[in-house]
Amino acid sequence: DQGAEGVGLFRTEVPFLLSERFPSEQEQTDIYREQLAAFSPMPVTMRTL
């Protein structure tokens, strides 16, 4: 909506910092899929821990 052409860097550590516990593998997968779907078909660069 704001004219972005993708995500330059999605920092995957943010969900870890916002949670009181380590997110499970499934929770991480859900978070990443949600972000990728929101920007599809635009590119998303992800930095993983």
What's the pLDDT tens digit per position in 12-46? 888 889 888 988 999 999 989 998 998 899 999 98
CA distance 46 to 13: 10
Longest dimension (CA), the chain: 35
Reported confidence tier of residue 1, pLDDT bands at 50, 70, 90: low
**pLDDT of amino acid 15:** 81
Please say whether the dihedral angle defined by the alpha carbons of residues 3, 7, 11 and 14, taken in this order, is positive or negative: positive
Strand, coil or helix: 24: coil
**pLDDT of amino acid 37:** 94
Residue 10 has pLDDT above 90, yes or no: no
CA distance 9 to 25: 21
